[in-house]
Amino acid sequence: MNFVLISPNYPDNYWLFCRGLKKYGATVLAIVDTAYENLNPNLIQNIDECYVVNNFNNYDEMIRAVGYFTFKYGKIDWIESNNEAWLSLDAKLRDDFNVKTGFDFKTITEYQSKAAMKKYYEDAGIPTARYSLVESEENALEFAHKIGYPLVLKPDHGVGASFTYTIKNDEDLKKYLHVAPKVQMILEEYIEGDVFTLDGICDAQGTIRYLNSLEYVGNCMDSVQYQQSIGAYTAFTISDEYRDIAQRTIHAFHLKNRFFHCEFFRLTKEKKGLGKKGTVIGLEVNFRPPGGFAPDLMNYAGSLDVYDIWAQVLITQQGDYMNIARESAGFAGRRNSISYKYRVKELEQMFKDQWLSTIYLPEAYAATMGDVTISARFKTPEERNAFFKAAFQETLGKDQNSDLKV
């Protein structure tokens, strides 16, 4: 089986997907944009061959790369990147090389639209926020006056909380429409709810073989927009309700042989037209692994290897990890701009039995995840609550992060 992986060199831990594929018998063919001598040795050891391109955005180069692999190894069975940035590229290459094990370009283009996703959530029986695609200031104001403020303005195709704005009145709407990027924007009614995710791996029938749930400490959108502290942790258990919601969503979106990352709200108060407190609202589906530290948190919480599980399911259609024992693993992302009561080293000592790692992030990740992240694993909710309370407790005075970088 010939498996082409695009960009397994970034993020750096994506070499682990190659390791899993090799383990289960695939011929692993990598396309990278980094000089061979600069690649992670673990990646080199777990691929059969790699093709170096100057730029993934140069489609002629990508065609030549897959063409070379086809000439040398025969028909390509899989083309994947597991990376949001290259999902459309994966799909275009599948179309051109008649690879049927993933989405075609037409489908992935539709699925990456937040507006288009709503009909699939409807098929799954899951409500979504009312919305309007912004065509002009006039139609945006018309929707706002019909639904009422607050609203959320964001790109219809986009990742994370970038260029996402909370709109409280007409003045806000006019202001942010003029500073928003020149792409299709969508307006949605504001949802008062807790965000959680249902992330996992499904097989060729769309049956979920592994499922995890991630909950947040703080608001993702506000964390990015206002540079607040941010944290997340895996759930100790996944309810039957969540399992059912996840499976209905996967079937509605016709997902097969994929890692997936689904985001939801749970209403914290009744919302007219949507439901009572506790109702689950669909937010969006991402057709890749969750980003950041999430795969590693899954591994720590379940004492397993999701990179290996992904390869096992895709290559062998075996493995069932739906009823595993779990702890909870999470991270606290702290900002250099915020003064905290406890220094990083103090937190490591206070929670030495739970502590897993401390990572100082480069600027590209810091905007979303924090300047320094502290990861830990918990046996009880009480341990977890105490960790986040201490990690995010603020005080007046000198910053407690940047002067302790090692």
**pLDDT value at position 404?**
47
- Give the separation between CA 261 and CA 292, rounded to whole angstroms: 12
Taking only the tens place, the pLDDT of each residue in 22-32 is 999 999 999 99
Please, is 370 exposed, middle or buried when counting C-beta atoms within 10 Å of its C-beta (0-12, 13-18, 19+)?
buried
State mean pLDDT over 195-207.
Answer: 97
Q: What are phi and psi of 149, to 5 degrees?
A: -85, 160
**Total length of the chain:** 406
Looking at the predicted structure, is the pLDDT value of residue 251 above 50?
A: yes
**pLDDT value at position 163?**
85
State mean pLDDT over 126-150.
Answer: 96
pTM: 0.93
Q: Are 279 and 217 in contact (CB under 8 A)?
A: no
**pLDDT value at position 406?**
38
Is the bond preceding 41 in cis, omega lying within 30 degrees of 0?
Answer: no
The structure tokens listed for 316 are: 């062998």
- Give the separation between CA 68 and CA 11, rounded to whole angstroms: 25
Q: CB neighbours (10 Å) of residue 32?
A: 22
CA distances from 80 to 71, 76, 232, 296, 351 (A): 19, 11, 27, 20, 39
Mean pLDDT lowest for which of 134-148, 225-239, 253-267?
Answer: 225-239
- Work out the mean pLDDT of the chain and round it to a whole number: 93
Looking at the predicted structure, is the pLDDT value of residue 258 above 70?
A: yes
Residue from 352, 348, 399 nearest 374 by CA: 348
Task: Report the interhelical angle of 170-179 vs 137-147 (nearest 10°).
Answer: 140
> What is the CA 333 to chain-centroid distance, rounded?
16
**pLDDT value at position 397?**
58
**Higher-pLDDT residue of 362, 198:** 198
- Give the separation between CA 388 and CA 393, rounded to whole angstroms: 8
Taking only the tens place, the pLDDT of each residue in 170-192 is 999 999 999 888 899 999 999 99
14: helix, strand or coil: helix
The residue type of 181 is: P
State mean pLDDT over 55-69.
Answer: 98
CA distances from 376 to 81, 155, 236 (A): 29, 33, 14
